[in-house]
A and B are shown apart, each in its own frame.
Chain A
């Protein structure tokens, strides 16, 4: 029950491996003996072969490309605009007082709820997915950037002014740099959010994309294909999160410096 239990090094490798094996065994057992209907719950092997067949048949790329375009395109637009407007609002006090609380209040609304309206505005193609992702990621990025601008250490600001830096020089060299830690944390949230929003948009109305494929497979009661699509989505989201985290450590190096 105490926190300072001694765990030998080999256990750190063996225990998670056992856990993973148990997980797969439970899945396999459940699929084979309890459900025993591959249309509802496929075994890990069936999912693997389904994924392989999907990729090698060439039906995979159009869906992958549509989802990646929608998510990353929307992310670039939303996060970019969110960052720029966050910097401006964080710097101009009047805007800060008026706009920042508004954004915080708006954040209480589940942003996916706007998806049907965006499809009405932008059609069922790629544009609506990008717009949906852009709207969702904009707010996260905006709020994080403004919070980061607020968090600039006062002594650094004082020093910048004492050395004769004018307002924009101080803003650019100190405030924005200090905000980067928040900005990258926001970007990490945005990365996960972008795939979620894109998939929801594709659930509702689309012509291609992993979400579209998932929903189509669910009409066919084809759980193997659904598992394959979820697997690909999880891999994409994890990859993007990893890239963002690495960039975070590279850019905000002073926080992650080894002592």
Chain B
């Protein structure tokens, strides 16, 4: 009797846990999608009710149809979407890696911080989007221009995240590492970096949104393909269905990127903020 109970119990707990986790996951998924569904319904209602002509603002059905044909039938949207994703991702990685490296370096060395301070202020003060034509002039009509602008624009949030995170490493921990004669690199990798991980990822989440903005703006003024180019080009031809379809796809790109980053955040910094309401 007793033995049976002992054998049964853990199994029941595991089973209950799995069911719980699956239902939790599904509920979370539904909770994520519900606002988007509501948004589409309101959009549909507004377009129908106000009788807005399709060349000014198409309804969700038209746009959905355009996305479907664009992705699965004609596959003409894939090309632009892929171009945008490629440049955004490359620029995002480049800018973020540089930002984390520089932010960590400056947070650990006050003299260097004071020396580089004017440059950081300058980078922050200039509206990055405004130098898009300059970057284009220097680097040419090429993916390099887009990647550079994206890297510049998503530099700052990651930099601040790394700097603040590393700077806020508890002195007790640093003292401990010093007592144990850990090298500077070891102290950074095992103490400061894990301490900063939460705020770095928060910076990356902001940066991903910025990165898409930078990419779209560069595509606007470069006019060589990409979702931004597609939006501008189709809006100018009053093909608003395509323009809105490209906008929706950009939104999906932003949403997926944000989702992946918050997943990484939960996985990597599992000790921080058990229940967060903000994404």
- Whole-angstrom distance between the Cβ of A93 and the nearest chain B Cβ: 15
Counting CB contacts under 8 A, is B61 at the interface? no
Given A15-B114, A104-B35, A196-B129, residue A204 in contact with residue B251 (CB < 8 A): no
**Those of B113-153 within 8 Å (CB) of chain A:** 114-119, 122, 125-127, 129-134, 136-138
Majority secondary structure of chain B interface residues (helix, strand, loop or mixed): helix
For chain A, what secondary structure do more than half of its interface residues adopt (helix, strand, loop), or is it mixed? Answer: helix
What is the CB-to-nearest-CB distance from B160 to chain A, in angstroms, rounded to a whole number? 13
Among A98, A101, A217, A230, which residue has its beta carbon within 8 angstroms of that of B126? Answer: A230
- Check: B231 CB closer than 8 A to any chain A CB: yes
Q: How far is the CB of A143 from chain B (nearest CB, A)?
A: 10
Residue of B109, B209, B278 near A110 (CB, 8 A) is B209
- Judge whether A218 and B137 touch: CB under 8 Å: yes
Q: Indicate the size class of the contact surface on chain B.
A: 35 or more
Nearest A residue to B112 by beta-carbon distance?
A: A15
Most buried by B among A5, A12, A18, A117: A117
Contact status of A223 and B117, CB under 8 A, knowing A102-B38, A116-B243: no
Size of A's binding interface in residues, CB under 8 A: 61
The proximity string for A residues 36-71 relative to B, scoring 1 for CB distances below 8 Å and 0 otherwise, is 000011000000000000000000000000000000
- Residues A40 and B138 in contact in the complex (CB < 8 Å), given A106-B39, A117-B235: yes
B108 within 8 A of A: yes
Does B86 sit within 8 A of A, measured CB to CB?
Answer: no
Check B110 against A23 for contact (C-beta < 8 Å).
no
Task: Tell me the minimal C-beta distance from A65 to chain B in angstroms.
Answer: 17
Residue contact B247 to A114, C-beta cutoff 8 Å: yes
Task: Say yes or no: is A172 at the interface (Cβ < 8 Å to chain B).
Answer: no
User: In whole Å, how far is A94's beta carbon from the nearest beta carbon of chain B?
Assistant: 13
Render B174-193 as a binary contact track against A, CB cut-off 8 A, 1 for contact.
10001000001001000000
CB distance from A10 to the nearest CB of B (A): 11
A135 within 8 A of B: no
Cβ contact of A113, chosen from B109, B240, B247, cutoff 8 A:
B247
List the B residue with the shortest CB-CB distance to A101.
B35
The residue from B117, B129, B216, B246 contacting A199, defined by CB atoms under 8 A apart: B129
CA distance A3 to B243 in the complex (A): 51
B35 in contact with A102 (CB, 8 Å):
yes
Binary interface encoding of chain A residues 196-223 relative to chain B, with 1 for a CB under 8 A from any of its CBs, else 0: 1001100110000011001101100101
CB distance from A99 to the nearest CB of B (A): 9
Known: A7-B111, A117-B244, A226-B137. A195 touches B119 (CB 8 A): no
CB 8 Å contact bits of B217-239 with A (1 = contact, 0 = none)? 10011000001100110111010
Near B by CB (< 8 A), chain A positions 85-137 give 98, 101-102, 104-117, 119-121
Known interface pairs A108-B255, A116-B243; A40-B137 also in contact (CB < 8 Å): yes
CA distance A240 to B127 in the complex (A): 13
Q: Is A249 an interface residue (CB 8 A)?
A: no
List the interface of chain B (C-beta within 8 A of A): 32, 34-36, 38-39, 56, 108-111, 114-119, 122, 125-127, 129-134, 136-138, 167, 169, 171, 174, 178, 184, 187, 209, 212-213, 216-217, 220-221, 227-228, 231-232, 234-236, 238, 240, 243-244, 246-247, 250-251, 254-255, 258, 278-279
The 9 A-B pairs of least Cβ separation, nearest first, read: A109-B251, A116-B235, A15-B114, A101-B35, A218-B133, A108-B254, A108-B255, A1-B184, A110-B212
Listed in ascending order, the chain A residues whose CB lies under 8 Å from chain B are 1-5, 7, 11-12, 15-16, 18-20, 22-23, 40-41, 98, 101-102, 104-117, 119-121, 147, 192, 195-196, 199-200, 203-204, 210-211, 214-215, 217-218, 221, 223, 226-227, 229-230, 233-234, 237-238
Would you list 13 pairs from A and B whose C-beta atoms are within 8 A, ordered by A residue? A3-B174, A11-B111, A16-B114, A18-B115, A104-B279, A105-B39, A106-B39, A112-B220, A117-B235, A117-B243, A119-B235, A120-B235, A192-B127
